[in-house]
Structure 1
Amino acid sequence: MQKLSFLFISFLFYYISFAQNPTYFKGKYVFPVKPDSGKIVLTGNMGEIRPNHFHCGLDIADKEGEPIHSIYKGYISRIKASTFGYGNVIYVTHPETEHVSVYAHLSDFSPRIRRYIREKQYEQESFEVEIFPSVEELPVTTKEIIGYLGNTGGSYGPHLHFEIRTIADFVLNPQFFYDIQKDNIPPKLFQIAISPLSSESRIESRYQIYRATPLATKEGWSILKPISAYGLVGLEGITWDMAQGATSTYATTKARLRVDGKEIFSFHIDHFPMYELYGMNLHINYKLLKQTGSNFQRFYQVDGNRLGIYKGNGKILVEDGKSYNLELDLEDVNGNFKTLFLTLEGKKPSFINNSKLITSAILSQDTDENTLIIKARYLKGSEGNIDLILSDNKQESLPIAYIQGNEAVYLYDLRKGVPLKIKSANIEMPFRKQMIPSGTNYTYKDPFMEVYFPNGALADTSYLDFSAKSSHFYIGKVYEPLIWDAEVKYNHKKNAIIELKKAFIQSERSKYTFSDLNDSTFTIKTGYLNDLKITRDDTPPTIRLIRKTPQKLVFQIGDYGSGIANFKAYLNGKFILMEYENKNAMIWTDPLTTETLSGEFELKVFDKVGNVQTYKIAL
């Protein structure tokens, strides 16, 4: 037992001290592109905010076809040929260092690996394959050429996407392993925001996200005028980094926030687990992203954020009559940093006497985390108020929080109880949202749908809309990110008006096909909260011959409905491989085929609901 404990402690010490300590490996790993030249052009680095995720590695620009080298000895543990995502990608496991290196968007594999993957493609009769070779099948040596730089998958210019992960699938920052792209330019700060974090919070006397543009100074940036605030608030900002001679922008990888000289928060984007990749939507203010299109990084930690890159929670409790001096350091991977200086002045809001106002109409109701926001038109001179009818039939009257133009704004902390109805002097409306708890598996049910939220799908307790009509159903709201997929089981027998055998679900961001479709229900999984429309698709894909030579056929394929699912090609009844590039919708016969194509050629293209188009030609 003592020996086992000693071995475990030794392994743990190794893992903590070395496997996740990049400086230990400096000089051990060669660079994957031009390892002997030192001429490196980075077009992206780890931690950049991309749509719905953090960028997990380095983007290294070079000409298409440039050889790609394994950074260290090991074996290929995963390999995929695809036209989406990482495109053609190789994963090399390095047992000695307990790391995995990733090489994505390859134009091609090295001849030895290409032969291996071709064999699997013909076995499966599919261009798209994913293989997990054994330790003995594809060993590699340090600096061995394993592929060639390209533009396959979700790439829009020739480059290598390169990652280093632990065997536990934590992404590590590759720049810590190499002395590359050194510079002395600190990050830029373009705009800041102060956000309210409770129903009692105010910024400049309102419950609002207050935005300001900082003034550049020698030390960094400054907000010259103090910002009045009250209650719990958080600081956010738009920031990125630059480098000498580079046209690309990069991630600001470190931040430190001090209040009156005391550090209350920091983040360092140097590692995070791949399974929390979409937690990036909690690192930024997702609501501001949807409203403005800009990524405001939070310099405080919200509930449910499990990225593990933070120290402290960063939330600032502002009290009446007190001043708070904030200093925010923004730092890049090379240690260059500048500081933002700003002051918050505590100012308690004064509530308005309802007896002099009458609410003539409730204009809107919305939620922001646990705060219910009610806006109503008002008239002066008579009595009136807003009342909430709670689930236990108790009634709570709300004071006016503040007046904005010709609207009265009311705020309520939903943690006190979820209302059933909202009443004014002359109108009553139901509270339309359903409370969905976090931290547990939860299923919402109504006569038309069941929506299953697994533990961790929502960062915090959320208040969502659910509705169903004949051709679409709604799960919202749009400002609420899903960290993991929700599963929707929909009763189409009660509410659908179209035949579902040739139908799919269309949303603003994605298309979904049904699983478990039967006479009464279907199921889909969705990563977004939004309007989901049931859409009929009776139109088969299109096929157009673009070019024909004795050794090669090139086609353009497309589908304007559910999308391309698969394709198969045959020459004289025998399967022949076609390669596919979805960005230009081109497919072409196996480029390794040197023999003249002769006989009856047939191409079949299938969409995601089963429509098929066939093209035949005699060669």
Structure 2
Amino acid sequence: MKQYIAAFLLACCIQGYAQEKKQVTFTPPFDFPLTLSGNFGEIRTNHFHGGLDFKTGGVIGKPVHALADGYISRIRVTNGSGYVLDVCYYNGYSTINRHLSVFLSPIAERVEKLQYENENWEVEIIPGPEEYPVKAGQPIAWSGNTGYSFGPHLHLDVFETESGEFIDPMPFFRTKIKDTRAPKADGIMLFPQAGKGVVAGKQENLTILPNHEQPVEAWGIIGTGIKAYDYMDGVSNHYGVYSVVLSVDGNEVFRSTVDRFSQNENRMINSWTYGQYMKSFIDPGNTLRMLKASNGNRGLITIDEERDYQFLYTLKDVFGNASRYRFTVRGRKQPIQPLEYQDKYFFAWNKTNFLHEPGLSLAVPKGALYDDVNLHYEVKADSGAIALTYQLNDESTPLHAGCELRIGLLKKPLADTTKYYIASVTPKGTRYSVGGIYENGYMKTNIQELGTYTVDIDTVPPEIIPINKNQWAKNKKIVYRLKDKGTGVCSYRGTIDGKYALFGRPNIVKSYWECELDPKYIKKGGKHIVEFTVTDNCGNKTISRESFIW
């Protein structure tokens, strides 16, 4: 993504930066009333939702319009976002249009030509500013349901071209969207700080309902968080909350404003949130600019008087609709057990940390942790295992940057070390690959969270399943479903009658790989042989050969 932003900015016109952005207006992307299925900054796994999801009436093929005068700056086909079109506008902003169904001519022909030349479904083109100019309101593509998409829609990202930062597009379309509904809270959580605070007699997080009437007893240093969603007129969807303000005894202590973020800040969502709860305090290693604490203690509250503390949450959306939730924390002096830990299992957020154990080494660089971590380290042995299972922490701790993990092998049943991989083990015992390479008796890889890991073997090739083979000719489409229980599909390639065939994965939610039968590449009127080869991430390969008449 960082490399893309650099290329993206390089491609954009310098004269666009000089114009006054405060006067910017955008033409709507569609010529019908705008409704949303997702808004900017919604909580997603390891990232913020970077734009707006516009509904398209449950169908594909709606014309997508340019928002202003500019030019098409990037063209892509990807598994994750499907057909993608980037536009650089002369007003200082740029957009990414994702999940499209079709590119317009001549872009469509250029993309197809490159796919066949590269023998790859996924391609990228970065044209010059003069190649594909656009005017405000001009159709630039057709909406779709490609990539990681659960239904037809347009995902629109808006960037500030000069900085490359994601910004909330909603203010550009406020007059085109109706919203009189305020955000609504579903729950509030209190976080006693380890070794420093207690809530309801325990040093455990406590959840209460919004507008909880009975005071909650606490002592020491605590934080709070809120689970809340926004809503809009005429639709049943829920959205992320634009603004959250926490006040205690009439004084603001914390504010979040979800209006912009950089790519480097994206994973910091893991520090700000706890599940679906938005924390109203800031971890010491979290530099997310949309969070502001004004009480000198990162938004944490010190309960050190035996009295009632009045807490107030104010939630707002971009349209100014607001809701308020009150609750009381009653200070009651009580003992707080100090935090107990072993030095080697205590990782400080502001330094590089190492863990060396028999059969394991871990290096967590400075800047990877958002807060101090007291590891609940355990080793689990299985007589039949090729490696021990290492629990780095009992609660998975996300990292801002990857760190190197090395796990030693207890035995080596296979000589072919490409079949080994490091597996992350979920609390339910499910394993999934995090990759890895063999080196001097160890498997090593980079991990993104402190969880539970072991080493496993994958010798089972992927499974190739033809879908409705008897309908291939009628539907003018060859369809396969692929399954791999180990490390997942790494690569695939198809041929028809010995010539390259363009297979792709238009919608990865459906897990189908498809090839459109096109008389430009396949001669009609006879029997054909399709060969499909699939390789997983441990090099296991399956080849399927099928015949069909078309």
TM-score by length of structure 2 reads 0.84
1:104 aligns with 98
The answer to whether residue 400 in structure 2 is matched with residue 471 in structure 1 is no
Assess, with a 3 A threshold, how the Cα gap between structure 1 residues 314 and 65 changes in structure 2: closer, same or farther: same
Superposed displacement of residue 494, structure 1: 5.2
Assess, with a 3 A threshold, how the Cα gap between structure 1 residues 513 and 247 changes in structure 2: closer, same or farther: closer
2:291 aligns with 310
Retained in 1: the 8 A contact 2:420–2:455?
A: yes
Superposed displacement of residue 51, structure 1: 2.5
Residue identity matched to 1:576: A
Assess, with a 3 A threshold, how the Cα gap between structure 1 residues 543 and 435 changes in structure 2: closer, same or farther: same
Q: Secondary structure at the match of 2:196?
A: coil
Q: Secondary structure at the match of 1:483?
A: strand
Assess, with a 3 A threshold, how the Cα gap between structure 1 residues 478 and 67 changes in structure 2: closer, same or farther: farther
Superposed displacement of residue 174, structure 1: 0.8
1:383 aligns with none
Superposed displacement of residue 344, structure 1: 2.1
Q: Secondary structure at the match of 2:268?
A: helix
1:387 aligns with none
Retained in 2: the 8 A contact 1:46–1:56?
A: yes
Superposed displacement of residue 239, structure 1: 0.8
2:504 aligns with 579
Alpha-carbon distance between aligned partners in 2 of 1:140 and 1:508, rounded to the nearest angstrom: 49
Quick one: higher RCO (CA 8 Å, sep 6+), 1 or 2? 2
The answer to whether residue 268 in structure 2 is matched with residue 279 in structure 1 is yes
Alpha-carbon distance between aligned partners in 1 of 2:172 and 2:218, rounded to the nearest angstrom: 43
Superposed displacement of residue 305, structure 1: 1.8
Q: Which segments of 5 or more consecutive residues in structure 2 lack a partner in the other structure?
A: 1-15
Superposed displacement of residue 189, structure 1: 1.4
Superposed displacement of residue 271, structure 1: 0.8
Retained in 1: the 8 A contact 2:183–2:322?
A: yes
The answer to whether residue 461 in structure 2 is matched with residue 523 in structure 1 is no
Deviations 1:537-575 (A, max 9, x none): 222222233333185433333222222111112234332
Retained in 2: the 8 A contact 1:44–1:60?
A: yes
Is 305-314 or 197-206 further displaced after alignment? 197-206
Q: Secondary structure at the match of 1:279?
A: helix
1:432-451 matches, within 5 Å, as 434-451=345-362
Q: Secondary structure at the match of 1:501?
A: helix
Superposed displacement of residue 493, structure 1: 4.8
Alpha-carbon distance between aligned partners in 1 of 2:325 and 2:217, rounded to the nearest angstrom: 17
Is 66-75 or 324-333 further displaced after alignment? 66-75
Deviations 1:477-503 (A, max 9, x none): 253432334333425455655553223
Alpha-carbon distance between aligned partners in 1 of 2:497 and 2:19, rounded to the nearest angstrom: 60
Assess, with a 3 A threshold, how the Cα gap between structure 1 residues 158 and 439 changes in structure 2: closer, same or farther: same
Retained in 1: the 8 A contact 2:229–2:240?
A: yes
Alpha-carbon distance between aligned partners in 2 of 1:200 and 1:489, rounded to the nearest angstrom: 32
1:2-151 matches, within 5 Å, as 19=21, 24-25=23-24, 28-34=25-31, 37=32, 39-62=33-56, 63-83=59-79, 85-94=80-89, 96-151=90-145
Retained in 2: the 8 A contact 1:487–1:523?
A: no
Is 496-505 or 101-110 further displaced after alignment? 496-505
Alpha-carbon distance between aligned partners in 2 of 1:309 and 1:122, rounded to the nearest angstrom: 44
Assess, with a 3 A threshold, how the Cα gap between structure 1 residues 568 and 102 changes in structure 2: closer, same or farther: same
Retained in 2: the 8 A contact 1:72–1:143?
A: yes
Alpha-carbon distance between aligned partners in 2 of 1:15 and 1:347, rounded to the nearest angstrom: 57
The answer to whether residue 539 in structure 2 is matched with residue 610 in structure 1 is yes
The answer to whether residue 206 in structure 2 is matched with residue 210 in structure 1 is yes
Q: Pick the aligned partner of 1:539 from 452, 455, 460.
A: 460
Is 582-591 or 274-283 further displaced after alignment? 582-591
Assess, with a 3 A threshold, how the Cα gap between structure 1 residues 336 and 130 changes in structure 2: closer, same or farther: same
1:385 aligns with none
The answer to whether residue 363 in structure 2 is matched with residue 452 in structure 1 is yes
1:393-408 matches, within 5 Å, as 401=336
Q: Secondary structure at the match of 2:111?
A: helix
1:503-522 matches, within 5 Å, as 503-508=420-425, 511-512=432-433, 514-522=435-443
2:259 aligns with 270
Assess, with a 3 A threshold, how the Cα gap between structure 1 residues 252 and 541 changes in structure 2: closer, same or farther: same
Percentage identity across aligned positions? 25
Alpha-carbon distance between aligned partners in 1 of 2:229 and 2:365, rounded to the nearest angstrom: 34
Residue identity matched to 1:53: H
Alpha-carbon distance between aligned partners in 2 of 1:170 and 1:522, rounded to the nearest angstrom: 37
Alpha-carbon distance between aligned partners in 2 of 1:442 and 1:191, rounded to the nearest angstrom: 35
Assess, with a 3 A threshold, how the Cα gap between structure 1 residues 452 and 67 changes in structure 2: closer, same or farther: farther
1:58-457 matches, within 5 Å, as 58-62=52-56, 63-83=59-79, 85-94=80-89, 96-167=90-161, 168-179=163-174, 180-214=176-210, 222-285=211-274, 289=275, 295-312=276-293, 313-349=298-334, 351=335, 401=336, 411-413=337-339, 418-419=341-342, 434-457=345-368
Superposed displacement of residue 240, structure 1: 0.8
Q: Secondary structure at the match of 2:110?
A: helix
Retained in 1: the 8 A contact 2:423–2:435?
A: no
Retained in 2: the 8 A contact 1:87–1:153?
A: yes
TM-score by length of structure 1 reads 0.75
Alpha-carbon distance between aligned partners in 1 of 2:237 and 2:289, rounded to the nearest angstrom: 27
Assess, with a 3 A threshold, how the Cα gap between structure 1 residues 512 and 169 changes in structure 2: closer, same or farther: farther
Assess, with a 3 A threshold, how the Cα gap between structure 1 residues 92 and 496 changes in structure 2: closer, same or farther: farther
Alpha-carbon distance between aligned partners in 1 of 2:171 and 2:321, rounded to the nearest angstrom: 15
Q: Secondary structure at the match of 2:195?
A: coil
Deviations 1:509-546 (A, max 9, x none): 77436454345333322223222242322222222333
Residue identity matched to 2:287: R
1:566 aligns with 491
Retained in 1: the 8 A contact 2:421–2:436?
A: no
Q: Secondary structure at the match of 2:306?
A: coil
Structure number with larger C-alpha Rg: 1
How many residue pairs were aligned?
507
Assess, with a 3 A threshold, how the Cα gap between structure 1 residues 145 and 523 changes in structure 2: closer, same or farther: farther
Assess, with a 3 A threshold, how the Cα gap between structure 1 residues 188 and 104 changes in structure 2: closer, same or farther: same
Superposed displacement of residue 18, structure 1: 5.4
Q: Secondary structure at the match of 1:267?
A: strand
Is 166-175 or 70-79 further displaced after alignment? 70-79
Retained in 2: the 8 A contact 1:504–1:511?
A: no
Assess, with a 3 A threshold, how the Cα gap between structure 1 residues 489 and 280 changes in structure 2: closer, same or farther: closer
Superposed displacement of residue 253, structure 1: 0.9
Superposed displacement of residue 441, structure 1: 4.3
Retained in 2: the 8 A contact 1:58–1:174?
A: yes
Alpha-carbon distance between aligned partners in 2 of 1:206 and 1:16, rounded to the nearest angstrom: 57
